[in-house]
Amino acid sequence: MSSATSLGARLGDVCVLGLGKTGFAVASYLAGLMPQRVSSLTLYGGASSGEGEPARSLAERGVRVVLGSEDVRGRFDLAVASPGIPERSAFFSAARACSTEVIGEPEFAWRESPDRWVAITGTNGKTTTTSLVTAMLRSAGTDAVSVGNIGRLCTDELVRRRDGAWFVAELSSFQLATSRLLHPRCAALLNVTPDHLEWHGSLEGYAAAKERIFQNLSGDDLAVVSQEDGYCRDAIGRLEARGVRTLHVGVREEPVSGEAAFVRDGWLTVRLDGGERRVAPMANLPLRGEHNAQNMLAASSMALFLGASVEAVRRALEGFHPIEHRIEPVGEFAGVRFVNDSKATNTDSVEKALTAFDRGRIVVLLGGHDKGTDLGSLARAVNERCKAAVCFGAAGERIARAVREAGGPTQVIRAPHLREAFLAAVGAARPGDVVLLSPACSSFDEFHDMGERGRLFKGLVADLSANGGVR
């Protein structure tokens, strides 16, 4: 019997924080449990929430909906917070003051259905690795579904979950920060580099939230951890001190650990259960770049641990298509390739993306909402690998200045917005080059989200081809 809340147990008086996608999904699920398992259900929409169809539909189902307020009052057995609400916020603190515990949505979903979970986190590579594990399990004939930060809420999938199906969960630091009992069978930490520091308060707080993915693992489970950054190496030490079975992932250097995943002689190789398995030659695989080698190694290790055969893993790798907005090829015109990497919202992600293309043949588009992160490493990488950098948006001037000050051959071009930046990039590119949208910034200065930014880029490429050039 799991230590988590067993399916069918009473939840009592429950509060949900936030009326976005997550809050609405959780409240809808909980409304279906009234009155048998939920005595009362209250949703606080937050300061910016207002009347609309979501609020009305919940109210019609007996949910007490409080709009335009973060002043949580009452007494609750459980509160479920949406991931956009920081633990240090007044909203979260108000809920904590009058609730027995406050948890996040994946934690809640796990408590409702705790068997057969895989969990994946990291600053970069989460979505690709999650999708790969799901594809590998399906290739092996096992039912699996990608859930979590990848776009399909865990709670939404609960009612559709079939017996024996695996939940392969991409989990963000926001989601992990409020986890307590979450216990996947296998979990991965891909990397930790500066991101979301305004939410967590510090890099150490961000890293600690990521590491919570392992908090309940035991010697029967598997932790898959990169050995290629300091925070991950520290996590490996703590895991092994606890006796957790830990597989080291190394792309640049073969790990010396008993269980490991690495590249040897161009082959993805996994050392597991006392033997080595040559999984696939990288030259035959559609995913490119050092970062994707790490993603493929981590995913292969997890799938093999869960019972997939080498043949099933290889089939999934060979047939895998790039994730939308993550180093996604979107067209070619006049000998120039166009690649959409709008999902690259931090500097580390861009640096890794640049390794996927020939040095000196990249015209990179950088810019967007300025997170205020250090740009030194990014500027050096751009000067080492790119022929031109087109810097746009709110962060454009600061990025352009950093690239210039780093010194090097890279041409620096300024543009106000993405549309103008695209035109400038087309003008700078020559046959054999790649125009890469890999912004290193979030999109909120100009777009609703990174998906809208990526779709505009793809639309501009389509227009270029349809019109026979820039008009």
Domain boundaries, the chain: 12-104, 113-319, 328-467
**Is 408 known to sit in a ligand binding site?**
no
Tokens of 395: 């962060």
Q: Which residue do the tokens 């925070």 mark?
A: 231
Separation in Å, CA 375 to CA 174, 206, 369, 440, 442: 24, 19, 14, 10, 15
pTM attached to this predicted model: 0.79
The class (CATH top level) of 113-319 is alpha beta
258 is in an annotated binding site: no
Is 22 assigned a ligand-binding role in the annotation? no
- Three-point CA angle 398, 404, 405, nearest 5°: 85
Give the helix, strand, coil percentages of the chain, each rounded to 5: 35, 25, 40
- CA 469 to CA 230: how far, in whole Å? 47
Annotation-wise, does 128 bind a ligand? yes
Q: Is 125 annotated as a binding residue?
A: yes
Among 69, 142, 128, 101, smallest CA distance to 309 is for: 142
Task: Determine how β-strand 328-333 pairs with β-strand 275-281.
Answer: unpaired
- What does the pLDDT read at residue 7? 57
Those residues of the chain that have pLDDT short of 50 are 1-6
pLDDT, tens digit, 9 for 90 and up, residues 221-236? 999 999 998 999 999 9
User: What class is the 328-467 domain?
Assistant: alpha beta
Q: Is 343 annotated as a binding residue?
A: no
pLDDT at 291 (0 to 100)? 85
At 298 the pLDDT is 98
Sorted by sequence, the CB contacts under 8 Å of residue 456 that are 6+ apart come out as: 418, 419, 447
**What pLDDT does residue 3 have?**
36
Structure confidence at residue 312 (pLDDT): 98
Fold of the 12-104 domain? Rossmann fold (3.40.50)
Q: What is the pLDDT of residues 414-444, one digit of tens each?
A: 999 999 999 999 999 999 999 999 999 999 8
- Burial (0-12, 13-18, 19+ Cβ within 10 Å), 174: buried
Is residue 104 annotated as involved in ligand binding? Answer: no
